[in-house]
Each structure stands twice: as structure tokens, then as C-alpha cells.
Structure 1
Amino acid sequence: MLKCQLAVTAHDADGRLRDATSVQSHGALDDVFGGYEGELGCVVDGAAGNVRVSLWAPNARRVTLLLHRGPRGGDDECVRVEMREGERDGVWRASVGAEWVGGYYRYEIETYHPWGGGAPDGGLGSIVTSVVTDPYSRSLSADGERTHVCDVRNAPELKPAGWDSLRKPKPPGGGDVFEPTDMAIYELHVRDFSALDESTPAHARGKYVAFTCEGTTPVRHLEKLAKAGLTHVHLLPSYDFGSVPERVENQANVDHGWLASLPSNSDEQQAAISSIANDDAFNWGYDPVHYGVPEGSYATDPDGGARIVEYRAMVAGLAKMGLRTVCDVVYNHTLSAGPHDGRSVLDKCVPGYYHRRNLDGFYENSTCCNNTASENSMMERLIVDDLVHWAVDYKIDGFRFDLMGHIMLRTILRARDALAALTVEKEGVDGRSIYLYGEGWDYAEVERNRVGKNASQLNLAGTGVGSFNDRLREGIMGGSPFGDPRVQGVLTGLYFAPNGFIDQGTADNQRNRVMEDCEKVIAAMAGNLKEYRFVNRKGFSTPGKDAAWVGSNVGYAAEPRETVNYVSAHDNETLFDGIMLRSAPDVPLAVRCRLNRIAVAVVAFSQGVPFFHAGDEILRSKSLDRDSYNSGDWFNRLDYTGETHNFGIGLPGRDKNGDRYGYIGHLLGDLSLRPGVDEISRSDAHMRECLAIRRSSPLFRLRTAADVDRRVTFYNVGPTQEPGVIAMMVRDAPGGHPEQLCERFQKVLVCVNVTGHAVTVKDEQLGLDIYGCSLETHPLQGMVCPDEYLASATCVGGAPTVPPHSVVVFVERR
């Protein structure tokens, strides 16, 4: 029954047809075949001298293995092997000789597809014949046209020198296990890293191997960050995605010299970029085709095993710099579906199973493409198998889940446990150090557990899995990604320097909002723990889950490791651009750059896991682009030399930003707002200083909620607080006490002042808590990034004075 179209009809007492509907068969497939745990994909068996291929396709009527000698062409020489279906497992199998190692294959599948005959645009579904690659592919030809036969785990030719003995950098907290709160994560796009860097050899620009080119400007930049305290590089999607031609000869280009000659607020740059956007070498890559294969456009040769060797070389190169590797994974959707599109894989193998369907049978697309259904057993298995594959075969140290809330919590926990079980002795990696985190947004068809308990922020508490803390971003920056980008927050001028662009209420209203937003920042600095208590702006002791207002769920984590604090990421505007959009016209560029540094410092000095967008440290701009996923190298440029800056390189893409042209055009036309080398260099040094300070003491990296509860206190709170000033004390146990954490400091006091004037924090409780203490600025502060403002930072008589637009760290030495 599962190999044909199923329908249910309703008839009245006289036998007349009254209604009819098709049947979704995923539940039946799971009940009968979903427990399969055996071999899938291509296995090269050296001992047996053969290659085994297995495909789970229980509703297929016929499957033929199509063997090819080369990566493309030669279809008339294709060797056809009829596959046989297992009696009870729904798996089709074939075995061929070892001479096919290095060759390529596809499947030809005959099956009923609900989109056959033109559906979902009006067809009724039909039996179709589709040609497809293997969903468990481990290597491919260019553009994912054929699956490459190889032994990814064992073949020596697929391993760079020293791969099997590669060991990762040790955690700063000591021991063998990397605690998430000891991490400092840097989100980076593979191509951005080197595509336009002239110190990188031409053949390596925009490629995996750029990370192995010693002495280049990008590599030296990462080395400096790692030396200061950066621990992990989070790579935007680097699996096989379908939005970029993988062969260089098929990639379109625009003359950057001509683009640079155009006015800074011209729309010609974006028009030129948009004209080739779907044919150039750039895309973020959130459009997966084959989950288990490195993206071919980042390899020097997209056919066959080069992408495997070079990806591993990149991971090894990062380790040599002192950095571990995190992969961005997008299991919530696939780029394509249906029986005919060349980029459709899962849906050709088991139509209607791997994707989530609504009650009318249509595929959900709330994630932007074809939503997958991890609630179905074999989709869940594919996710877990794939994560283990990347961890073992590429020694990946963490995974960031795109739209994680669209994945079932059960799936994430199963993956967590499978990864944690990996050992150095057996698999060559220590799974205890692998960290999982992602976007725990709860919306659309999965909202409030409507499909099943999902991996949303509120459901993750107590799991050890992290999620992005958008509360900090919104409190610091103001507004939300879906509103007017000129709405101000604590950092960007609300109450203190209103921009006048939009109506933000009276001064009293803005003052109250500043204090409300400060509570979001306080919660974040305490690890965004839902039960951590502090005194709110009304004078009441409140838990983090009620920060800002009762029932806000601002604080949602059970442990610090479950909070990933950030103020910018690849999505939306860069940190610098967000500040530029929100700042009042009379705010000088130097102050805007200081605001950028305050945001970086708040993230660095908060409890939890700090996360930085590549370029936060060099005032990165994308010329105010709100969504640069397809904006080319021109708008996404990273220049680690500091000699150029991307503010004012043309109006960003009309498709995503056209509704803003009326107010961003004049900003981009004012080149006095473009930072120069000195400001960029200062911000770069400041980031390294913040990382070094964080690394200097475990008091910045508390591991448990219990530690945060008993060690962290906030001052300048309640109704009489000075708005815009946050003071956080982290205290250690006395020397020699069993609970002592830090050998250098007894107390750490972090003071944030977003106002334009110096503030002396006069808090009775603070005065009592530091009575008799000798507090001084942290010995590293001002040493890496000299700052004349620090001269006025003092702590006298139990009252610290904090310069304007500054974050100061005071310490009591042991």
C-alpha cells in the first residue's frame, strides 16, 4: 500500500461520494520501517574487495544504481545495476567491485510522488522516475551532480599530513574537557576571510586552503585573536549548498575597480551586484543540498576528494592558530524538493517523508525553503548520523543550529548524547568538548510545541545546549530585526541622545525604557539565568525570567553554558552599521566607535558564552545592508589590513533595503562617517584586550548557576539608579578556601557607562561590599588598547568613577 497513492473517501448512506482526501504516509513509514539502524550510503570494504551501496526508500517501486567513471558526461557509458529491496527494512542494496572506488554514482528511483503530474500547482500526484544522488553522500562531483565513491574515513589520500594525530588546543580553564563558558566564538564566512585579500595567494583566495597560508594578513589576524583569548571559529555553512556555481569558469564577476569609482550612495553598485548575484561565487549558504559533504566552491577542485582534503587542512590550520572549529548546520530545511529539480535529494528518495507537511498536504516553508521534519524517525537519524560524521571525520568541535526551534528537542538531545559518547581512544575525538547551540526561535507551525516539543529557548533549560540571547542584542541596540532600525536602545542613545528620526516617546518614557532595557542587559551579564535574582527598577527582587516585566521570559537558561551572548551576527546589520542607523546626527564618529567597543566589552565580560561577528573588532560595515546573504564580495568584504572600510560603498541591495533608501542615502553620502585606519586599529586592539581580560580570570567564566547566584551582585539598581550605568561584582572565596576559583583576583567589578558624562556610582551596598578593599583598574586594561579616558577611572571611598562611554574593569588583587 505504501508504494502507491493512497486516498480516503467518504460516502453517504446511498453510497454517493461526499468527500475525498489523499493520505500522508510518514507515520506508517515510521511504524513499519522507521526503526532501521543499519548501513546507509556508500561503504568501501577493502577486506571484501567491494563497494556496498544502501538507500532507505521503502515506498520506491524500483531503484537502479547508475555508475559513472567520471564526474560528468558519459551518460551513454553509464553502467546500470538493479538494486534489491530488503524484505522488512525498506532498504535497497547493491554491491559492485572495488574498481569503482574513485568513480561516481546516482540512483534512478521509480516511486509515487505527491508532486508528480504538476503538483503542488494543481496536479494530483503520479508515479514518476527520478534521478538523484545519495542523501548519505560523503563526496561529490562539481555542483553535486554525482556522488563520489570514496572511503572518507580511512583513505590515506584524503588526509592531509598529520591528520590522524591532530590534537586540538587545550581549554584556558585547564583540564581535558572544554567547558562552554571557557569559549569565545568568532562567526566567520569561509569566503569573506580571504576572497579579496592580496596577501593570500591567488589560488587560495576564498578557499579552505586560505586558512593554511601562513603569514598572510587574515591568518595573522586570527592568530592574534587566538593569542588574546579567542577559542573557536564558527564557520557559516560549509556543507554542500546549491546557490553558488562550484566551477570557477561558471562564476560571474563584476569589476570592483569600477564599483569603487562610483559615488558612495549610488545605487549602481547594488544593481551590478544584483545582476550576477545568482551566478557569482558568493552566498551565505543557508540552502543545503547534501548535508554530509564540504561545499565545492571553497575547494580548489570541486570534483572528488580535493574538498575533503582541503577542508581537513583548514581545520588543522585553525588548530595550529590555537583555534577550534564550529560548523553552522541547517537541518531545518532543504533548498529544494519535488521529483525533478536537480537540487532535490531527500524528497526524491522518499517523497513527502523528510519534509513537514501541513494538514492540506503542502510542504511547510516557514524557514524560507522546504521545512524538514525531524519528528520523523529517519530524518532524525540522518541529522544525528551527519553530526557524528562531521565530528569524527572532520574533527569538528561544535555545531551551531540554524533555526533550531524548528527541530524537535528529542533530536537535539539524541545528537548531544551521541556526540558526547565519542572518545579519543575509539573515534579520535573527545565528544565531551563538543558544544551545541543555535537559534531557539519559537514561531510558525512549531510554536508552543504544536508539532512536538521543539528545541526552543524555553525548552532548552537544563539540557546544556546553548541558544542565542536576543534579549541582550535588543536591550543594547534597541528595537528588533523586524522593526524600524532607528529604534534606539541602552547603547545607541535612547534618552541620552535621542535621534529624532522617529517618535520614541517623552523623556520620561525613554528614561523608563532605558532602565527596562538595562534589566535585559543585567540578566544577560548574569548568564541570562531564569532564576537569578536582582533588584529591578521598581525596587523589588526579581528573577531573570521576569526582568523588564513580569512574564517576559528575558532570562530562560538554567545554566550559564545555555546562553550565547551576542549583539551582532551575520543576520541583519553589522554592529557598526546598527550604531550608525540609530545614532543622533550630532554624535561624533569617535563616540560611535566607542559605542562599538562598549558592545564588544559587554559581550566579553558577561557570564555565559561570548559570541562575536567577524569584523566586530574592525568596525565592520556592509554599507548598511540589512541582509547580505547574496550581496557578493563587494558588500561583504572583510579587510583585516584596516586600510579600507565598507561604509559608503553604495546603497545596499534594493530587494532587501529599498524601503530604507529614503533615510540611508544621506548617511552613506557622508564620508566623514567612514572610520579611518586609527579608529579601526584601536577597535581591533580593544577586542584583543577584552578577550585577554576575560581569559585572565575564571570569575568572568563561571560554570554553574549556583556559582553565579552566590558570586554575582549588581549595584546601581532600583528606582534611584543612575540610568545607563551597570555595575556588576563577581567575588571569589578567600585564598585557600575550597571554593576559590581565581589565583589573581579576590573581586572583579565591571562598570558599564553608556552616558556621555562621567558617573560616580554611589551605592550604599557597594560601599559596604568593598569597604577596606583596594580596587584598581585591571592590569591589562589600557595596555593593549591605550585609552585616555581611563585616566579618570578611579575607585575611592567605595565609589567607582566611570568615564563616559566606557566599560571599566576594577579588580582587587590577592
Structure 2
Amino acid sequence: MVDVLRVPFPVLQSSPSLSFKPRLCPLIPPSRRLHLKSNSLLFPLFCSSPSFFKLPLRCSSSSMPLQLSSLSQDSLLYSRAYWVTKTIIAWNVDVVEGSCYLYASKVAALSVTDNGIQGHDLEIKLEEDRSGLPPNVIEKFPHIRDYRAFKLPPVLDAKNLVKCQLAVAEFNSQGKCRNATGLQLPGVLDELFSYDGPLGAFYSAEAVSLCLWAPTAQAVYAHIYKDPVGGCPLEIIPLEETNGVWSTKGPKSWEGCYYMYEVSVYHPSTLHIEKCYANDPYARGLSADGKRTLFVNLHADDLKPEGWDELEDMKPDILSFSDISIYELHIRDFSANDDTVNADFRGGYMAFTLKDSAGVLHLKKLSKAGITHVHLLPTFQFAAVDDEKENWKYVDSKILEKLPSDSAEQQEKITAIQDDDAYNWGYNPVLWGVPKGSYSSDPNGPCRIVEFRKMIQALTHIGLRVVLDVVYNHLHANGPFDKDSVLDKIVPGYYLRRNTDGFIENSTCVNNTASEHYMVERLIIDDLLSWAINYKVDGFRFDLMGHIMKRTMVKAKDALCSLTKERDGVDGSRIYIYGEGWDFGEVAKNGRGINASQFNLCGTGIGSFNDRIRDAMLGGSPFGPPLQQGFVTGLLLEPNGHDHGTKDVEKAMLASAKDHIQVGLAANLRGFVLTDFEGKERKGSEVLCYGGTPVGYAFCPTETVNYVSAHDNETLFDIISLKTPVGISVEDRCRMNHFATSIIALTQGIPFFHAGDEMLRSKSLDRDSYNSGDWFNRLDFTYNSNNWGVGLPPKQKNENSWPLIQPRLADPSFKPQRSHILAAVENFTDVLCIRNEYGSTTPVHHGSLASL
């Protein structure tokens, strides 16, 4: 009898057109998420047949499996056991009088019945080790510290077994199968196949070589193409394997061509041996939309702008990281709406190379005043924006300009095309090591490489160093079918962090990566070194850095610092790294090892964002009541009608906020001593947040990045306009904006400003503009408008606040005039000049080492 699976909860399709912004996770809990191919929402299940697993099931490993009724139907969709070393399998089962076995099938023919596993090529009895898991395994996998250890024979051919479909099963004393599950392999892969040799494409005078790490693959072929898309392969070359690394050598004529890997590998999300077609994880060039990997030698002279090799000598001096001031900017925002930029250059790399565009003149002004680094939002190859400009859809801005300032029509028109326009922040990584094609004049060939280098060179000539926003904590896609999936096609189940059921963790929103695995960590570090050496990048900002292991971050910092101008062409000691040290999800409280959270990074010299000073200044948090006020937005002194409690409560809140700001002014140092609002002397680590965590967590000033606004959440001017009383003047709001940026500018530590803070930038109160198009993200470097009142912000993330937003947008008194914007820019640059002139390297007293 054929039944039909009925999905009793919402389905999140893994369609390329559905893009989630990291950090804003769907409200469906991980245990209820289901990802299926869009054409496979319903399919027949033979409910009583062991041949069920021979059906062409396509269930994404980023989701929980289908919740079926019996052991024989669903157990192999899970991977609840861990092969942690060559001789140990960890499994959370209690075997008293029964026994356990390991099963393998090279053709993925395993199925489960009440009598055990069928279709296997190999069956091995497991013996329980009563001493438990060894300390090195617990250190690597702390979340399974209480699992039981089962011993494998030391003579086992583990290197070939990992290429098979694997399962373990537990039987009772009567021989009845009670449990069965697949295996997670990263532990044994790290032990047997950790590799430090060449990976990617390499070029000599006579040949081109390819190396790919794929220890679970059964076969690997390289498909060589002449063109970026279409056509038959010029050649299909089999690669040869040595200890998990597949390699081949081809003629010099390959250079300038394209290639794809064909990897035959068992994929746990489908229970099949799949032929996966993937780009090179170490790609340094791509065709449009990452259809193929480009053979490109980044050291070739014709890819270097004139004067490129001498660029390091032109970098502005940084005597100390304490002298850094950061300006966060999105590449498209910089020029998409700038009429002083040639239309062909707008929204791309080449807009930075102009001498006198409005945007470039503004950057020169900021550089002269004291901004040292421009932080560029993601510039690697990401999904959700087509690289081919002719495929973009637009809304006529002249139509939008005629609509009322509080109308819902603007957002309706923008969101109707938001997945087909030119805009996205870019936090949906596909390949980390290649510049994004949509920002270049030609997404095929080496054009994006040359233009990216010209952008870096132009910013250097302005006097600015460049920080890249890197997103190593997650990937946009997974599985063997998605066009944007790469790593999970090549070594399925290794690069992406999985939960104890064997399904991909999604706490960063989708497809969390696992830097605790050796080759994931290596890929991250190799990628950073490539950007530093090949593009002369001066810093890296890590998205959701807390989801990366502390060890990885420290190794990355050391590797970058070891770069020398003589050997590598760059001085690595000048490269600054920082990121979001939030501690949540499966990594919270060191759940997967010591992670790179705010508190864990103390003493490393790696910076983390200081949310304490932001929340004290603005009020509450981005996730709290929208009208909750803070030190800058009128708490106690300019009440807005929000119920903060009694006057005494408000006074206590304001006094506490003052203490938090004082600690922030002293770089959030643990040992900084202040007199708090109660008249008591306390260290920064003894001043507590509302949740009981210490305000001060840093050991030195450069470990703190102070900010009051960033690309996330409302702009500074917008949040001030939302939280302040409706009746105050726009001049008062402008003063509050200036007050906030001045506090940040004059702190110890690293000041960080979102582009437009200095120009009263508005996104029409949009709290999350990652996919809100050019319309809501507009920057006007001519200072004629701050983009206030361009319609109600997109419904998806803002509708609950529309009753608060609409009357503000409709009120013309909220909109700053050109004179207000000009004054804001002048005030901002004046404060930067003060910081720059008097220097931020002056040491701040934060106690002795013994006092920390």
C-alpha cells in the first residue's frame, strides 16, 4: 500500500530565490525545520518495506529528517553516532546484555529491519570501552563527553571504509535490533587525513596542477571548459588519490579556461552515492554566478594594476592599532545613486577609482579628519544577486519619489523584485576566496580581480586602509543539488556543523560551519592569507565570530602577523582583526570547544564589538521594546511615553547607563576602576549588565570596538527619531546624533561608524535593510538628503512597528534639511580631528595584571 507523507508544519524550501539574512533566524525551531527540493514536497513512502531507502529520496541535511513511525523507516536518516578516532566510535546507547555492530556498503545499499542492517558489504562487532572517551576526544567534541566508547579493530582499513555508507546498530540479548543510525565522520577524517600540502590550482612555466581534498570521495574528475558557460568539456580528466587528496597535472593552455569537479561520494542527506558537480573550494576566479571555476594565476603581471607591487610602501602609517578609526560601507551603497559617477561604474568596484566623485570627495574628507580604515561589507562571491547585470530588475525611482512619505506602496514595489534586483548585503557565502562578480564590469574572466585590486589601490591613495567583512560562520547552501553548494558536495557532512541527530546546525540562520574541524580551520586561514597577500587587505571583520573557535581566530591572527613585506609583499603586523563575539546557539558556553566570544578573547588582541556602550546610549537592545530610551535618547529627561517604571527606576537606569558608558570610554577594560553611581569604586568587570554579565571584558583597548550603529538594525538617526518624544525639534535630534558619534569618537579602543552616521543617514526607519534595495539604502554624498521619509519600510521586518513609524514619516518636521546635514558632517569631522590630533595611543590606567 502506498501512503503519502503529509508535512504538518511549515516547509522552508531550499530554493535559491529564498534568502535568509544571517542572525535573523526563522521562528520555526530547529527541530521542526524541513528542507526539501522544491519539486519534492510530497512523495510516496512504502511504509512497511525495507526497500524504502532505495527510493530516490532527497531530504536536505540542513533539516531534521522525516519523522516516521518505525525504526526500519527512519533510522538511517539520522547520524547519531560519531566515528571519533580510527579505533573509537562514540554512541549514546546503553548496551547492557546486547551487542553493537558497524556496517558498511560501498554502493549505499543499507536498509534497516527489525532483524538488523541489510545490504552491507562488511559487518564488524564493536566492543564497549568501559573507560569511556579519551580526553583528546572530549576536548574536540565536548558536546558528546558522556557518550559511550566502542572499540574498533586497530587493523581496520578505515581509509577505505569512510568512502562507504556506514551505520551502527544495537541488538538486545535476543538478537532484535533496537537502535540503528548513521555516523558522523569529522573526527576520524581529521585523524587520518589532516593535510597541509597544496590545494587548489597551481601554475608553473610548463603546467597547471590541481589538488582537491576529498577523502570520502570514490572518484573525482575535472571537467575542463573553454567558455564560462555552455558547451561541451574540452577534456574530462580523472584525478588520482593519495591519502585523501586528489590531484592531476595539465598543460599550460588550461590557464584562462574554466573547470568543474565531478565528485562521486556518499551523501548522508540522500542515502545515495551522488555525482556532485562543484567548484573548487580554493577557487581564485569564477565565471558569472559561480557556474565554473576560472584557471587564473593571481601572480600574473597582466592582472596587476600599474604600481600594484609597490602599494605596500604607499600604505598610510599606523603606529598603533589604537589609532584606528573604522568607517563601515557597502560597495553598492557608495555609488549606486551617485550621479557624479559614470553610469557604468555605479554600484561597483570602479566607482572608488574616480578622482572627484561626490563619494570619493567625502571619503577624502573623512580620511583627512582621521578615519583610517574603510570596512567593506561582504565582497566575496555570495548568492542572492545575479552577476549578470542584464538580469537585474528595477523600480523607476521617479515613480517612488511621487508617493507620500508614509506610503506602503514604495516597499510593495521594492519587495516585489527584491530577490531579482542588484541589492543584497552579501551575508550568503558561496565561495569565500573570489571577489563578487556583480560589482565588476564583467563577471567572467579575470576582470573582477583586476577591478578589485584597483579599488584597494584607489582607497590606499586616498589614505585609507581596507577591511573586508568575512563570513566564515556559515554557508548559503548545502547538499548535492543546490547550485550554490560547494563544500558539502565535496566532503559531505564535514564542513558544516551538525547536531547530535546528525543534521546541520542553523543558529546563524543556515548551514553553520565547523571551524573545530582541522580542514575547515585550514580553509579559513588559507583564505585570509590569500586576501592579505593577493589583494593587500589591511584587516578583517568576522561575522558572528563567536561561532568560530578561539583557537582558529588566534591561529589566523598569528598567521597574518607572520607575513612580511620581504617574503609576502605585505606587512602582516599591521593587519587588524575583529568581529562579533556573541555567544549563542550550539557554541554558547563553549558547547563545541572554546569559542571566540567576547569573554574568551580577552588577552588575544582580537577586537570584538562592544554592545554595552551601544545599548546604554540608545536604550534597551535592538531586540527590546522599540521605545525604550537610553542615555542619549532622552531617558528620564525627555520622556516619550514608554513605561520605564517609576521615576526612581528611571533614575537608576540612567545612572547605570552612565556607568556602562564610562567603562566603554575606557575601552571596556576589565581592570579599569571607576566610581559608580552608588559612590563605590568598582572595576569594569564588577559593573554588571542587566543580565548579570560584566560590562568590562577586555584586557587592552584594541580588544574593544565601540559603536552605536552598524549596518544591522536602524541607523543612528532613525533610532533617535524613533525613541525620542514626537514633539522635540529636528535640531534636538541632530544634536543627539552628534552627541552619540562624539562619544564613540572620543573613546579608548577602536571607534566604529556606520556609513552615513555623520550625515544623519536614514533608511526610512527600516530595521533590517539587507534586502531592501537601493531605495531604502540610499546614501547622498552631495548632502542634499538623508533619505528620511521615503515610504514605510518593508513589511516583513517592520510591520509590527508601522503604527509607530507612520506618524513620524508623515510629519515633515522630522526631516533634516541640507543645513542640518552639512552641520552634522562638520561636527563629525571636527571631533575626528580632535581624536586624531591628540592621539588615541595615550595609555589608559586599567590596573596591574595582578588586579585583573
* TM superposition score normalised by structure 2: 0.80
Equivalent residue letter for 2:486: V
Question: Which residue of the partner structure matches residue 109 of structure 2?
Answer: none
User: Within the alignment, does 1:507 sit opposite 2:647 as a pair?
Assistant: yes
Q: What root-mean-square deviation, in Å, do the aligned CA atoms of Structure 1 and Structure 2 show? A: 1.2
User: Within the alignment, does 1:60 sit opposite 2:217 as a pair?
Assistant: yes
User: Within the alignment, does 1:608 sit opposite 2:743 as a pair?
Assistant: no
Q: Equivalent of 2:292, from 146, 149, 153?
A: 146
Q: Equivalent of 2:312, from 149, 167, 171?
A: 167
Q: Equivalent of 1:96, from 250, 273, 283?
A: 250
Question: Which residue of the partner structure matches residue 520 of structure 2?
Answer: 379
Question: Which residue of the partner structure matches residue 406 of structure 1?
Answer: 547
Query: In structure 1, what is the Cα distance between the partners aligned to 2:348 and 2:674?
Result: 48
Q: Equivalent of 1:255, from 365, 377, 396?
A: 396
User: Within the alignment, does 1:80 sit opposite 2:225 as a pair?
Assistant: no
Query: In structure 2, what is the Cα distance between the partners aligned to 1:223 and 1:258?
Result: 34
Q: Equivalent of 1:29, from 164, 184, 189?
A: 189
Kept after mapping to 1: 8 A contact 2:671/2:846 = no
Query: In structure 2, what is the Cα distance between the partners aligned to 1:291 and 1:623?
Result: 32
Q: Deviations over 1:314-356 (max 9, x none)?
A: 0000001000000000000000000000000000010000000
Query: In structure 2, what is the Cα distance between the partners aligned to 1:683 and 1:428?
Result: 40
Displacement of 1:672 in angstroms is 1.6
Kept after mapping to 2: 8 A contact 1:560/1:607 = yes
Q: Equivalent of 1:135, from 271, 275, 281?
A: 281
Question: Which residue of the partner structure matches residue 43 of structure 1?
Answer: 202
Equivalences for 1:3-402 in 2 at 5 Å? 3-34=163-194, 36-46=195-205, 49-74=206-231, 76-86=232-242, 88=243, 90-116=244-270, 125-152=271-298, 154-167=299-312, 178-402=319-543
Equivalent residue letter for 1:69: K
Question: Which residue of the partner structure matches residue 27 of structure 2?
Answer: none
Question: Which residue of the partner structure matches residue 520 of structure 1?
Answer: 660
SS at the partner of 2:310? Answer: coil
Equivalent residue letter for 2:303: L
Q: Deviations over 1:773-810 (max 9, x none)?
A: xxxxxxxxxxxxxxxxxxxxxxxxxxxxxxxxxxxxxx
Equivalent residue letter for 1:54: C
SS at the partner of 1:459? Answer: coil
Query: In structure 2, what is the Cα distance between the partners aligned to 1:542 and 1:194?
Result: 48
Q: Deviations over 1:556-598 (max 9, x none)?
A: 0000000000000000000000100100112111000000000
User: Within the alignment, does 1:579 sit opposite 2:720 as a pair?
Assistant: yes
Query: In structure 2, what is the Cα distance between the partners aligned to 1:169 and 1:548?
Result: 45
SS at the partner of 1:333? Answer: coil
Gaps in structure 2 of 5+ consecutive residues: 1-160
SS at the partner of 1:234? Answer: strand
SS at the partner of 1:667? Answer: helix
Query: In structure 2, what is the Cα distance between the partners aligned to 1:557 and 1:69?
Result: 53
SS at the partner of 2:311? Answer: coil
Equivalent residue letter for 2:310: S
Query: In structure 1, what is the Cα distance between the partners aligned to 2:807 and 2:659?
Result: 34
Structure 1 segments, 4+ long, off by >6 Å, are none
Equivalent residue letter for 1:70: D
Displacement of 1:77 in angstroms is 4.0
SS at the partner of 1:165? Answer: helix
Equivalent residue letter for 2:377: L
Query: In structure 1, what is the Cα distance between the partners aligned to 2:188 and 2:789?
Result: 57
Displacement of 1:94 in angstroms is 1.1
How many pairs does the alignment contain?
Answer: 687
Question: Which residue of the partner structure matches residue 606 of structure 2?
Answer: 465
* Pair 1:258–1:115, CA change in 2 (3 A): same
Displacement of 1:80 in angstroms is 0.4
Kept after mapping to 1: 8 A contact 2:670/2:846 = no
* Pair 1:639–1:583, CA change in 2 (3 A): same
Equivalent residue letter for 1:185: I
Q: Deviations over 1:575-630 (max 9, x none)?
A: 00010010011211100000000001000101000000000000000000000000
Q: Deviations over 1:17-53 (max 9, x none)?
A: 111111101111101002x10010011112xx11101
* Pair 1:678–1:168, CA change in 2 (3 A): farther
Between 185-194 and 477-486, report the one with greater CA deviation: 477-486
SS at the partner of 2:312? Answer: coil
Equivalences for 1:682-693 in 2 at 5 Å? 682-693=823-834
Query: In structure 1, what is the Cα distance between the partners aligned to 2:656 and 2:812?
Result: 35
* TM superposition score normalised by structure 1: 0.83
Displacement of 1:243 in angstroms is 1.1
Query: In structure 2, what is the Cα distance between the partners aligned to 1:701 and 1:669?
Result: 46
Displacement of 1:169 in angstroms is 5.6
Question: Which residue of the partner structure matches residue 702 of structure 1?
Answer: 842
SS at the partner of 2:332? Answer: helix
Kept after mapping to 1: 8 A contact 2:320/2:841 = no
Equivalences for 1:521-600 in 2 at 5 Å? 521-548=661-688, 551-600=692-741
Q: Equivalent of 2:798, from 657, 662, 679?
A: 657
SS at the partner of 1:364? Answer: coil
SS at the partner of 1:389? Answer: helix
Displacement of 1:417 in angstroms is 0.3
* Pair 1:177–1:678, CA change in 2 (3 A): closer
Kept after mapping to 2: 8 A contact 1:560/1:702 = no
Equivalent residue letter for 1:508: D
Query: In structure 2, what is the Cα distance between the partners aligned to 1:148 and 1:83?
Result: 18
Query: In structure 2, what is the Cα distance between the partners aligned to 1:709 and 1:686?
Result: 34
SS at the partner of 1:371? Answer: coil
Kept after mapping to 2: 8 A contact 1:168/1:319 = no
Query: In structure 2, what is the Cα distance between the partners aligned to 1:605 and 1:582?
Result: 24
Kept after mapping to 2: 8 A contact 1:187/1:235 = yes
Query: In structure 2, what is the Cα distance between the partners aligned to 1:686 and 1:159?
Result: 39
Displacement of 1:167 in angstroms is 2.8
SS at the partner of 2:309? Answer: coil
Equivalent residue letter for 1:542: R
Displacement of 1:177 in angstroms is 5.3
Query: In structure 2, what is the Cα distance between the partners aligned to 1:158 and 1:57?
Result: 30
Displacement of 1:466 in angstroms is 0.2
SS at the partner of 2:568? Answer: coil
Query: In structure 1, what is the Cα distance between the partners aligned to 2:693 and 2:582?
Result: 15
Equivalent residue letter for 1:651: L
Equivalent residue letter for 2:736: L
Question: Which residue of the partner structure matches residue 754 of structure 1?
Answer: none
Displacement of 1:552 in angstroms is 2.9
Equivalent residue letter for 1:142: A
Equivalent residue letter for 2:237: V
Query: In structure 2, what is the Cα distance between the partners aligned to 1:133 and 1:424?
Result: 32
Displacement of 1:645 in angstroms is 2.5
Equivalences for 1:779-794 in 2 at 5 Å? none
Question: Which residue of the partner structure matches residue 729 of structure 1?
Answer: none
